[in-house]
Structure 1
Amino acid sequence: MSENVNAETAASPETIDFAKMDPKFRDEVMEKLKNIDWTQCLACGMCTAGCPYSDVINNNDPRKFLRKLVLGMREEALKDPFIWNCNVCERCTVECPMGVNFGIITRGMRGQFGIPTPGFMDKVVNEHIHSGNQMDVPQDEYKETIEWIEEELQEELGDPNYKVTVGKKGAEFIFGLNAREIKYYSHELQEILKVFYYAKADYTLGEHRWDCTNLALFSGKNDDFCEIQRPFFEEAVRLGVKKIVVTECGHAYKSTRLFYEKFWDGPEFPIISILEVYDEWIKNGTIKVDPSKNPEPCTVHDPCNLVRKSGVLEANRNVMKAICSDFREMYPNRQYNYCCGAGGGGMAMPEFKAERMAKAKRKIEQVDATEAKVVAIPCHNCIDQFNDMNKEYKKGWKCTHITPLLVNALILPDWAPKKQEEE
């Protein structure tokens, strides 16, 4: 385990050298972190109290880091391991009486001061800029995967005329993917498209740009962030869709929302999570479900980027309650939930695995308290972390996105092909 992972040993006292304080550094930070007034900090320590991990690993104290900014401690701040130890989950911000947003501060410090990015985050960002997706999937491979999924669904649905909709102009919504759903988890995209089929959704996949993820969300480099995200929005404009619906991934959803709210200067688009779409379809009867088909005790994780940072508080649990007969909440939940430990790009920084696994114990305690056998995790980054902790700590959970549970609970409509009804 990394030497700075030590929940038992208190950090040694540090001496503040007033001669090294640089008032200009404070002004520089203020300029680069525009619209974030962190000078209102009361030094009360509520941020540190609210951080689930300030006592799990060393150098994970938000209050201490912010004081370095306030005091103009340039050298100490820019070299502080906190910058990359922080999960950028904003759990501390929930507790701050002055509303200081630490996630935005940390992201800005990462990207605006020339600090080297650990791991292979920059490599993935550069490949995304070049290829149009974070998995560096060639366009012909994308088309071949879609064709393979189409053939699989024709057989599975019993509908030889089924087609995956790609590049359709005027659709109700464009569905933004996580590139993992093409590169590694095409079976999960297949499940999503199955739900679209039974809902008779008016959708399209992107033809030229289709990936909504963006690792520059974590590196904090806004030029890279915009270069990655803008082409997907331009694809939505080209196709003339009314909405953007983002796949079951908190990071992809937050990236899309952040770009739209801060950097997009084109037509307006509602940005919607697929979980919100599922929730609406279940409530209005577009799709019907039978929760008895998922009888095992189930719980659901609240991804920070989807729930706390984007306000999608109810859709994931509404869907789970509708499709599972024994749904159990983790506590705390919603905006008070704990980051799984992979936030802030942790999965793209392999040298931080020991820290990730140390932080995972907080989430394990939450899951274990529910005694759930199935853990639904509506985020690709989070589910990778859960799979790692499941293996590391030998928990034996079934870790899944929500969509497979939804598909399992579907009641097929009367018009469904005979083959499906017989099965």
Structure 2
Amino acid sequence: MKAIVAAELDPTFRDELAEKMKSLDFANCLACGACTAGCAFSDLHPDNDPRKMLRKVILGMREEILSDPFIWYCTMCERCTVECPMCVNIAAVTRAIRGNFRTDSPGFLQKVVDDTIRSGNQMDVQPDEYMETLEWLQEELQAELGDPDYRIPVDVEGADFLFGFNAREVKYYPNELQNILKIFYAAGANYTLSSQKWDATNLALFSGKDEDFWKITEPMLQEVVRLKAKELVVTECGHAFRSVRWGYRTFWKGPQFPIRSILEVLDEWIQQGRIKLDPTKNPEPVTLHDPCNLVRKEGVVEPQRRVLKAAVMDFREMFPNGRWNYCCGAGGGALAMPEYTEQRLIKGKRKVDQLLATGAKIVAIPCHNCMDQFNDLNKHYKLGMKMEHICSIVERALIIPEKEPKA
């Protein structure tokens, strides 16, 4: 970095950023370097040092910070914040700079945001395509379950929960949605899907533009109210879960209701005996990835572990894990920025080393965003491992109760 010239510093930048964030969260920085030590990626490629970025902000180096590659390299995983003695949230600072001071947006990040605002989902699935997919899944499940009366509930008022999911589960992975609905069937769940707003994902969480963010997430929360559901349950997608929970806490002014991850619901059902599993159906060693948005940011740590221990014969932890686990390298919208693919795969090597140390054959990944990264890492580093969502593992172990004959 070039010499710092006091006359070129702009102290108003810090005040502007604080106003945008509605706090002076970053003003407590001690410049101790704990954030850089805690970042799993700070030594992997240039311009990836959170301490340097934050010092530029605090000193008022406006031009330097607005051209700093760190703003887009950062995965916003909050691993640095875990280590910060002053709890400075560098991910929040990064997001605020992205959304309020940068006019560019790498790759197709903003395009996905715009498409979601326009169509209601990030995969631009049209309403007729969505309903046709549900009809097809209904027919498949009728045959698989041997229950011609089975129906997928849509727009049913007063259900115990509205289920919000990821558009990928409709566009590319309907078999995974089928697995989830099969679990709901086995549990006798009283739930509904929405015909109007069903995609809980929101890439504006990463672009940093709050106006865009709320245009996408508010309709999901409004559907809970419209359908009079008791709570919102979100699929295995870390950033979708984070989006609705953060949006609810930050912007929502309507009626209050719980928002839970499907993993919390599965854990509850297993403990209640509502679903029964045969772990011998999953004999291979399984390890678990902790998505940053689900675990570190939203605090869902133990439910997925209890679920896996009930569903598999050999569960193995990565170390570190839980709140201290490493980001997979694809956070912060990195998958939507193909110009940074090299950096993303370099970051992923930290996760690869964790995986190999477990000796596991299957990696349980409760996040669609992370899943795409793990599939890329599996191919790039020739791991030969199987990457699965937890619901798919549970479905394989699921014991379907015999349907009582009609009187």
Q: Same fold (TM over 0.5)?
A: yes
What do the CA deviations read for 1:216-236 (whole angstroms, capped 9, x no partner)?
000000000000111111111
Mapping of 1:86-105 within 5 angstroms? 86-105=74-93
Greater mean alpha carbon deviation, residues 102-111 or residues 89-98: 102-111
* Seq. identity, %: 61
Q: C-alpha displacement at 1:412, in angstroms? A: 2.2
Mapping of 1:396-411 within 5 angstroms? 396-411=384-399
The residue number in structure 1 matching 2:130 is 142
Q: Secondary structure at the match of 2:170?
A: helix
What do the CA deviations read for 1:156-181 (whole angstroms, capped 9, x no partner)?
01001110111100000000010001
Q: C-alpha displacement at 1:260, in angstroms? A: 0.3
TM-score (ref. length: structure 1): 0.95
2:31 to 33, 40, 43: 43
TM-score (ref. length: structure 2): 0.98
Q: C-alpha displacement at 1:414, in angstroms? A: 3.7
What do the CA deviations read for 1:222-276 (whole angstroms, capped 9, x no partner)?
0000001111111111100010000010010000101100011001110100000
2:15 to 27, 34, 39: 27
Q: CA RMSD in A?
A: 1.2
Q: Conserved in 1, the CA contact under 8 Å of 2:66 and 2:102?
A: no
What do the CA deviations read for 1:110-146 (whole angstroms, capped 9, x no partner)?
0011331101011111111111101011000000000
Q: How many residues align?
A: 406
Mapping of 1:244-263 within 5 angstroms? 244-263=232-251
2:112 aligned with 1:112: no
Give the direction of change, closer, same or farther, for the CA distance of 1:416–1:142 in structure 2 (3 Å limit). farther
Cα separation, 2, equivalents of 1:378 and 1:44 = 34
The residue number in structure 2 matching 1:371 is 359
Q: Conserved in 1, the CA contact under 8 Å of 2:365 and 2:371?
A: yes
The residue number in structure 1 matching 2:280 is 292
Q: Secondary structure at the match of 1:237?
A: helix
Q: C-alpha displacement at 1:52, in angstroms? A: 0.2
Mapping of 1:338-417 within 5 angstroms? 338-415=326-403
Q: Secondary structure at the match of 1:272?
A: strand
The residue number in structure 2 matching 1:281 is 269
What residue identity is the alignment partner of 2:356? D
2:59 aligned with 1:59: no
1:128 to 116, 140, 146: 116
Q: C-alpha displacement at 1:150, in angstroms? A: 0.3
2:65 to 65, 73, 77: 77
Q: C-alpha displacement at 1:17, in angstroms? A: 2.1
The residue number in structure 2 matching 1:267 is 255
2:302 aligned with 1:314: yes
2:158 to 170, 192, 208: 170
What residue identity is the alignment partner of 2:390? I
List alignment gaps of at least 5 residues for structure 2: none
What residue identity is the alignment partner of 1:243? E
Q: Conserved in 2, the CA contact under 8 Å of 1:135 and 1:180?
A: yes
Q: Conserved in 1, the CA contact under 8 Å of 2:165 and 2:200?
A: yes
What residue identity is the alignment partner of 2:335? M
1:302 to 257, 277, 290: 290
Cα separation, 2, equivalents of 1:192 and 1:109 = 38
Q: C-alpha displacement at 1:99, in angstroms? A: 0.5
Cα separation, 2, equivalents of 1:195 and 1:285 = 13
Cα separation, 1, equivalents of 2:277 and 2:264 = 16
What residue identity is the alignment partner of 1:362? R
Cα separation, 2, equivalents of 1:311 and 1:61 = 25
What residue identity is the alignment partner of 2:250? K
Q: C-alpha displacement at 1:36, in angstroms? A: 4.6
What residue identity is the alignment partner of 2:280? S
Q: Would you identify which runs of 4 or more consecutive aligned residues in structure 1 move more than 2 Å? A: 414-417
